Amino acid sequence: MATERMTVAAAMVKALEQEGIKHIFGYPGAAICPFFDELIKSDIQNILVRHEANSGHAAAGYARITGKPAVCAATSGPGATNLITAIATAHMDSVPLIAITGQVVSNQIGRDAFQEADITGASEPFVKHSFLVKDGTTIAEVMKKAFYISGTGRPGPVLIDVPMDIQKQEIDFEYPDTVEIRSYKPSFLGNKLQIKKAAEALKNSSKPLICAGGGIFTVNASGELLQLSEMCDIPVISTMMGIGAIPTEHKNYYGMLGVFGVETAKYALKECDLLIALGARMSDRSVTSLSPFHETVVIHIDVDPAEIGKNSPVNIPIVGDVKKVLEQLLTELNEMKHPRWQDMLYTHKSERVKRNTDNEKSAELVSPKYFVKTLCKYLPDKCAVCSDVGSNQIWAANNVVLSGQGRFITSGGMGTMGYAYPAAVGIKTAEPDREVVALSGDGSFQMSFMELATAVQHGINVKGVVFVNNYLGMVREYQDKNFEGRRTMVDLSGSPDFLKIAEAYGIKGETVSGNDRVECAVKKMIEANEPYLLQVMVDRTERSLIE
């Protein structure tokens, strides 16, 4: 490609085109106007959100479903600081997000100019890397590096801050095909010796267990995971980020572990004699205490060496691309059978399922667990279930049913309320033929329901579900347990009728107030060929877990 004379703003747009970007989620302000002005000339579609945090969440949803970096853009100062929650959320969940922010003109930087915020400084703890572009001639290199860093290795957010005058600077632009960063070597094979050791340990194990994390999706390693689990007859549990890594109804899958996980998954973790953690951080939320690992051989496979041994002791660390390591490991292994171990877990699971189903029938209003299961019964295989944070997240996580193509998308590491709807907007934008449902709590929904407007304006056919319990339910639960039931700041009285809210945006919907209405309402929602909202009335005392 020959060099062309153009402004930095035009060069940024050209770079995005070169990276295959089709959509940007953004919100304007003076400092980012030169960039947006150039975007008009491009085929890249700009989707106007209603709050910058949601531009980040939408781009994150987009990135998680496509597996490639997605872009959000905001103006300087408050626009940029509004982005921070989304950046931090993406960082925690290793999502490749490119955040572009306008900055005040170069010679005003450091003087507390109007709408100046040190966004590279403020976002520093939450980015994989960031750039403050002080010299427009570096823009091609910066953009190329940003995409490379964000999308490879352990993905993460990269922020590019561009002062207004720099955006207008004229430069010679040529987009490089490749980029070399000497200090950054993101993707690699696992150490052969370690892989042999792991295979050996697996052969000696009678109760092996796989814990699948979000890293499986990063490198699209579901196939290899399934192969390992089936060939070697190994039960699988997952972290919240790893839900759907293998089909939830697979006979080898025993559910999510962790504080809010299912009993069988926790039981499996306690009983196993060998654990393979795959692209999972083994965070405090997943592994409640370190003691389960006492006698267990732990094989930890992750692309980020810093995660290995950070949260729990590891016997056989393998650093590398999870997909490649699995491929390597598979060549070292032959068929295995663990019928007694599988039986043990299966029996445990069956008892629990029965107890749960009995519970659901007695629910007076709508049982949210029953709702999630029914929803999934009617969703096509190619779907995405986005969930917010709170009890609703746990209801969704522990009851969602996904086949190979289905995805469960939630804010795992950060637990950011308001994530579901904008993330769903992003996913639906990326893949219009995927059925996308956002499940929210009534508290969470009130943090992002302004995005109903985004869905309407851009014709993004997202289905929303609000579980109304008129409480910040999970916090109420926490207070009940830890503060002798003194409930403060958790009553959501004053909340609106969400159906009326939807109506005000011109969105159709329905209020569902009994289990008997669920099936019909769900079918109608899925059939709708436009944005749609279900307001689901659940028992105020419904808890996150049944146990």
Ligand X SMILES: Cc1ncc(C[n+]2csc(CCOP(=O)(O)OP(=O)(O)O)c2C)c(N)n1
Q: Should residue 305 be labelled a site residue for another protein when binding is judged by CB under 8 A?
A: yes
Applying CB under 6 A, does 367 fall inside the site for ligand X? no
Binding to another protein, residues 136-155 (CB under 8 A): 149
457 to 131, 503, 507, 525, 546: CA distances (angstroms)? 32, 14, 11, 19, 40
Closer by beta carbon to Mg ion, 49 or else 366? 366
184 binds, among ligand X, another protein, Mg ion, none (CB under 5 to 8 A by kind): another protein
474 makes contact, choosing from another protein, ligand X, Mg ion, none, with CB < 5 to 8 Å by partner type, with ligand X
- Indicate whether 194 belongs to the interface with ligand X (CB under 6 A): no
Secondary structure (DSSP) of 54-119: HHHHHHHHHHHHHSS-EEEEE-STHHHHHHHHHHHHHHHTT--EEEEEEE--GGGTTTT-TT---H
Give the binding site for Mg ion (CB under 5 A): 441-443, 469, 471, 473
Q: Percent helix, strand and coil across the chain, each rounded to 5?
A: 45, 20, 40
> What's the closest the beta carbon of residue 142 comes to another protein, in angstroms?
11
- Name the nearest CA neighbour of 178 among 54, 369, 19: 19
Q: Does 363 bind ligand X (CB under 6 A)?
A: no
Would you count residue 442 as binding ligand X (CB under 6 A)? yes
- Closer of 163 and 473 to Mg ion (Cβ): 473
8 A C-beta contact, residue 81 and residue 119: yes
* Site stretch for ligand X (CB under 6 A), options 2-10, 104-112, 396-404, 411-419: 411-419
Measured from the CB atom, is 27 or 471 closer to Mg ion?
Answer: 471
Residue 416 touching ligand X (CB under 6 A) = yes
Give me the least distance between CB of 438 and ligand X, in Å please: 12
* Residues from 453 through 482 that contact ligand X (CB under 6 A): 467, 469, 471-475
- Residues 184, 346, 378, 505: which binds another protein (CB under 8 A)? 184
Cβ closer to another protein: 153 or 509? 153
Q: How far apart are CA 370 and CA 349, in angstroms?
A: 18
Q: Which two tokens stand for residue 469?
A: 């319990």
Nearest to 407 by CA among 295, 241, 249: 241
Backbone angles phi, psi at 129, to 5 degrees: -165, 165
Task: Name 73's bridge partners.
Answer: 26, 100
Mask: binding to ligand X, 117-136, rule CB under 6 A, as x and -? --------------------
**Amino acid letter at 343?**
D
Among 165, 304, 327, 480, binds another protein (CB under 8 A): 304
- Going by their DSSP bridges, the two strands 70-74 and 23-26 should be labelled as parallel
Which chain residues interact with another protein by CB under 8 A? Answer: 120-121, 124-125, 128-129, 132, 134, 149, 181-184, 304-306, 309-310
